[in-house]
Amino acid sequence: MRTYFILIFCAFGSLVYPQDHCIVRADISYTSSEKEYKIELDRRQNVSSLILYKLSSERKSYNIRDKNRIDELRKKNWKTAEEHRELEEIRNRYKIFDKDSILISNNSKTFKYSDSLLFHSETILEEKLNQPVYSDAMFVEIYENGLQKYKVYNPQTDIYSIVYYFIQSALQEYWQKVSKPILTKDYTSIN
């Protein structure tokens, strides 16, 4: 019943949200491991691309300016959220991702869930007020055209269900179309 409600919710969102060209991205990482991947939906008018990225390595040699700034930030023990965010931005510039992509129909569930991610973000942010705290969790950041819309912890079928179903739907569609996926079920923890 809950899944049926979410699909109706998604269908309504797809009728209201403009569909010319938009890029929706979910960056997924885990607090207990180095696993990290991204799901990007490049939404076009007729056919869209689903692009998946998997963290393969991280260059360890920073340029001099970045190295000096990292050393400076580490000495401060990341006193503010802004300093921590700056450190993460520097680290992200040195990450190397494997990439794979497929074409998907604009009638797919993944496309409809992406509408809901964008159009119903207020609902998701309201859920965030009652968000439980996990020490070992999945961390998801949602972006629209490169700008962060919101971030959530541990999306599941009962909390942040739209985020969960977007990720699940995208991965299942990818696994159905690719014979040798770069992202496997055990890596993603979503089936």
Task: Look up residue 180 and give its two tokens.
Answer: 């040798």
Indicate whether 71 belongs to any domain.
no
Indicate whether 18 belongs to any domain.
yes
Its pTM stands at 0.76
Residue 54 pLDDT > 70, yes or no? Answer: yes
**Which of 33-42, 115-124, 125-134 shows the lowest per-residue confidence on average (mean pLDDT)?**
125-134
Cα–Cα distance for residue pair 119/150, rounded to 1 Å: 12
Q: What is the DSSP string of the chain?
A: -HHHHHHHHHHHHHHHS--SSEEEEEEEEETTSS-EEEEEEEE-SSEEEEEEEEEEEE-----HHHHHHHHHHHHTT--SHHHHHHHHHHHHTTEEEEEEEEEEETTSHHHHHHHHHHHTHHHHHHHHTTPPP-SS-EEEEEEETTEEEEEEES--SSSSHHHHHHHHHHHHHHHHH-SS-SS-HHHH---
Cα–Cα distance for residue pair 164/147, rounded to 1 Å: 20
Of 52 and 139, the structure prediction assigns the larger pLDDT to 52
pLDDT tens digits for range 64-120? 998 888 888 777 665 666 776 777 788 888 889 999 999 999 899 999 999 888 887
Indicate whether 117 belongs to any domain.
no
Indicate whether 191 belongs to any domain.
no
Indicate whether 118 belongs to any domain.
no
State residue 123's pLDDT score: 67
State residue 66's pLDDT score: 86
User: Which residue range is the domain that position 43 belongs to?
Assistant: 2-59+94-112+128-163+172-184
Q: How many domains does the chain have?
A: 1
Confidence of residue 1 (pLDDT cuts 50, 70, 90): low
Indicate whether 70 belongs to any domain.
no
Indicate whether 37 belongs to any domain.
yes
Average pLDDT over residues 169-185: 93
Confidence of residue 2 (pLDDT cuts 50, 70, 90): low
Indicate whether 159 belongs to any domain.
yes
Q: Which residue's entry shows tokens 């998997």?
A: 54
